[in-house]
A and B are shown apart, each in its own frame.
Chain A
Amino acid sequence: MRAVVAIAANTFREAIRDRILYLFLGFAVVLLVGSKLFGMLTVGDETRIIKDLGLVAIQFFSMLIAVMMSLLLISREVDSRTVFNILAKPVRRWQFLLGKYLGLVAVVAVNLTLMTLLLVVVVWVYQHELDFMLFFAGAMTMLEMAVLAAFATLFAVLTRPILGSLMTLAVFVVGHMSEDLWLLTRQLPGAFARAVIATAYYLLPNLERFDFHTEVVHDLPIPAAAVVWACVYAIVIIVLVLYLANLRFRRKDLM
């Protein structure tokens, strides 16, 4: 386990020194300018709009980190051949993959925590009370990003970096259209087209399961079962996708 932690820490350190946390500044600008702008344009409960905008921005910037890091995750180690140094040591390939994955998750987690804290502060400025449910929404987004990071890891070992990033982005986009895909499978006329859409529906994760923005922004009740189910769903997908990544990587010749 020590090797996994060392590889994760090195991945994290590399990302931080690559200034990936600067994306947080992008979020801060979007949130502060956006909240001011919407505050001027909106009549009514502007804090709800700020929460909504903030949660969407958190999700977007976290996704951006996962996609950007999938560009570098494995390929940089292989292209710069630093991976040779790691794998010649008493380290199993699955430990390397898991370390890279956890490093990516840690980078997203730190960014996401900073962004959520900023959102809580901004909402506190407008509302004069702390909305702890924003932390819950942030945690569920983190769960979503952990799933996305697993796909980023899988694509990093399956294909070239740019294509891997595009595929990670595609999982994010299609993952939020899962319900629409399901509707499409019922409405499309051709059997083949229905089969293709149904395959995509079953193969790709339903990321909407992690989206509790509406409930948090509008103070709606959140069913405990939905939260538990989302956690179980995330764990199953992450384990399965990382297992597939390892299946490909464990006997892969590195040139």
Chain B
Amino acid sequence: MADIQLEVRDLRKTFHPGLFESDVEVLKGLSFEVRRGEIFGFLGPNGAGKTTTIKAITEIIFPDSGSIRVCGLPHTDLEAKRRLGFMTESPYIYRHLTGREFLRFCGELLGMQRSGLEERISRVLDEVAMDAHADRKMGAYSKGMLQRLALAQALLGEPDLLVLDEPLSGLDPVGRRDVRDIILQQAAAGTTVFFSSHIIPDVETICDRVAIIVEGRVRAVGSVAELMSDEAECSEATFVGAVPADLRTPLLASHVGSDASWARVSSAHRDALIQELADRGARLVSLNPVRSNLEDLLMRHYEGEGS
């Protein structure tokens, strides 16, 4: 078995909406690798290309160029698909089926043997705490119940790789904790998890490594600690007697309050700021070091792309 469970190389995709609309280049040479047994976070703002990438991995759309390998096999290979469990963003449902019937249908699509299927269905229903509701029509399910059932069908085939698109969005706190626990249990059992989200705390909490995707490209990959170690420490200064807009020192962010002004400055420019405030006769009220978080990093990449 391959050590790289998901390999995406130079993926490009442009959509052609119509005759009178301009083309939209969504993926611009996207590459990353997901190692066996890790929880890999795929973090980016809405419209960054996360769902398009997942649709390409699951063969719902076809990339213009690039390659995708799942568990060492081309992603179009049926064996690769058999080893992959996929949960869509906002689970879509067959209203006419009960939860159990839906899982039976999924098991048949996976080519599972009839003899073991019912037992496996009961097991995954139990895992996602849906056994009590399994014989109700899916049309009557709450969002949280649908999310759990969608996760159950992704787990049904005992996949080597779980691809989860925004699995925690729209859930209440209890539902979030439950689904998060299931993901962690799967990872502990050796399943590789590819986890797409735009919710930073979710990614920070459960992912071993993270790829930041902005405008169809991967901008950074690594563990949260690694990504943050590359980030320069910065300082936040509060002062009176000067307006941030007048300062020559490059500021990362600033705010003018009624009593005092506030500015964030990189470590490299901290001394210059202190000196300039002194030169201008302004009074430095406080100066505190702060560490960037994943949100700052994402925003920096996002704003960097936009500017």
Q: Do A and B come from one complex?
A: yes
> What is A's interface to B at a CB cutoff of 8 Å?
2-3, 5-7, 10, 13-14, 17-18, 80-92, 251, 253-255
Q: Which of A80, A83, A88, A254 contacts B86 (CB 8 A)?
A: A88
**Residue contact B96 to A3, C-beta cutoff 8 Å:** no
**Residue contact A89 to B110, C-beta cutoff 8 Å:** yes
**B106 surroundings in chain A (CB, below 8 A):** 85, 89
**Residue contact B92 to A14, C-beta cutoff 8 Å:** no
Q: Which of A84, A89, A90, A92 contacts B88 (CB 8 A)?
A: A84
- Number of chain B residues close to chain A: CB under 8 A: 28
**A82 to B81 Cα, complex, angstroms:** 17
Could you give, for residues 88-119 of chain B, a 1 whenever the CB lies within 8 Å of some chain A CB and a 0 otherwise?
A: 10001110110000000110111100000000
**A81 to B110 Cα, complex, angstroms:** 18
**B97 surroundings in chain A (CB, below 8 A):** 10, 13
Q: Which of B229-245 contact A (CB under 8 A)?
A: none
Q: A6-B109, A10-B94, A17-B96 are in contact. Are A87 and B58 (CB under 8 A)?
A: yes
**A251 surroundings in chain B (CB, below 8 A):** 62
The 5 closest A-B pairs by CB, nearest first: A6-B108, A88-B58, A81-B92, A88-B86, A17-B96
**A13 surroundings in chain B (CB, below 8 A):** 96-97
**A17 to B110 Cα, complex, angstroms:** 24
Q: Say how far A133's CB is from chain B's closest CB, in angstroms.
A: 37
> What is B's interface to A at a CB cutoff of 8 Å?
15, 55, 58-62, 78-79, 81-82, 84, 86, 88, 92-94, 96-97, 105-106, 108-111, 153, 157, 163
Q: A90-B82, A253-B62, A254-B60 are in contact. Are A85 and B111 (CB under 8 A)?
A: no
**Residue contact B93 to A6, C-beta cutoff 8 Å:** no
**A253 surroundings in chain B (CB, below 8 A):** 15, 60-62
**Residue contact A85 to B108, C-beta cutoff 8 Å:** no
With CB as the reference atom, state the residue of chain B lying closest to A3. Answer: B109
**A87 to B110 Cα, complex, angstroms:** 11
**A14 surroundings in chain B (CB, below 8 A):** 94, 96
**A86 to B61 Cα, complex, angstroms:** 13
**A91 to B84 Cα, complex, angstroms:** 12
Q: Which of B15, B97, B108 has the most CB of A within 10 A?
A: B108
**A12 to B237 Cα, complex, angstroms:** 68
**A7 to B55 Cα, complex, angstroms:** 21
Q: Which of B62, B78, B92, B94 contacts A90 (CB 8 A)?
A: B78
